[in-house]
Structure 1
Amino acid sequence: MAIQVGDRIPHFSALDTKGNSFDSDAVVGKKPFVIYFYPKDNTPGCTAQACSFRDQYEDFLDLGAEVIGVSSDSVISHQKFTSQYQLPFILLSDADKKIRTLFGVPSALLGMVPGRVTYVVDAAGVVQMVFNSMLAGKHIPKALEAVKKIVAVSM
């Protein structure tokens, strides 16, 4: 069952780009965040999406929000991807696809490609936006707009 707007984010953990264990408790209940699932490091759409999040990362930080990217790529792949494109945010390795399954992220292109879905979660851990589109460039403005709404409501 896919996570929907209004659902509480499930607890998860995975290895981050540095090979450290990341636990969702590090952000849930502390600040708003964007968690986006993407198909694969170093592919044209995924690189464009990651670089767009990179280019607007300061905007998310200024709003008190964190950005987390998730794919099934290895920690080593994430390290190369992060280094090559100077990605300042967290990438998680979901090699066993447990997080993708937990969120109910669907596959795309007749099930041949892992889906591209972005979730915006408020500081209480409640999903405020779900955006499912293979159009990589559309995710960043939608996520930023949703974070701005969360921040405006909490003021």
Structure 2
Amino acid sequence: MGLQLGDNISDFKSIDQNGTIFKSEDYIGKNILVIYFYPKDNTPGCTKEACDFRDEYQLFEELGAKVVGVSGDSVASHKKFAKRHKLPFTLLADKNRKLRRLFGVETNLFGLLPGRETFVIDKSGKIVMRFNSMNAKNHMKKALKKVEEIAKS
């Protein structure tokens, strides 16, 4: 089932593309979090989605939001992906699918392809947006719109 709209996220830890431990507790109370789950590094849709977030990253930062991408790829794969596409945000390695289970991100295409889903979490740690679509092109736009709404309130 996983986390639903209105739920507070649980504290979690994971390893980022630089081998550093990312702790959600370091951001709750300080930042809006945009956490997007994607199937795989260096695939066309996932690259488009990551580059969309990269291209608007400065605006997310100005609005007080941290962008975090999550997939089952390794730390080394994330490091290459981030370097190749000049991604300025955190990519978390979720090899054991612990974060996917926590958030309730399901697999698609008969259970073969990890799902694509974006969450916006307000500063208090509450999920205020959950968007599920295998189409990569709308994730950044929907997340940015929600972050702008939060920043205005």
TM-score under structure 2 normalisation? 0.98
* Structure 1 SS opposite 2:145: helix
The Cα shift of 1:152 comes to 1.3
- Structure 1 letter corresponding to 2:4: Q
Deviation of 1:2 after TM superposition, in Å, equals 2.6
Partner Cα distance (1:65, 1:83) in 2 = 21
Instruction: Structure 1: state its 5+ residue gaps.
Output: none
Structure 2 unaligned spans of 5+: none
Partner AA of 1:5 in structure 2: L
1:27-106 maps to which residues of 2 (within 5 A)? 27-106=27-106
Q: State the Cα distance separating 1:52 from its structure 2 match.
A: 0.4
Q: Which residue of 1 aligns with 2:123?
A: 123
Deviation of 1:78 (Å): 0.3
CA distance in structure 2 between the aligned counterparts of 1:150 and 1:10, rounded to whole angstroms: 21
Letter in 2 for 1:68: V
**1:139 — aligned with what?**
139
SS of alignment partner, residue 39 of structure 2: coil
What's the TM-score, normalizing by structure 1?
A: 0.97
CA distance in 1 between counterparts of 2:91 and 2:5 reads: 23
Deviations 1:115-146 (A, max 9, x none): 00000000000000000000101101100000
In the alignment of these two chains, the number of paired residues is 153
Structure 1: how far apart are the matches of 2:37 and 2:22? 16
* Aligned match of 1:148: 148
Note the aligned Cα RMSD (angstroms). 0.7
Displacement of 1:26 in angstroms is: 1.5
Q: CA deviation at 1:111?
A: 1.1
Moved over 6 A (4+): none
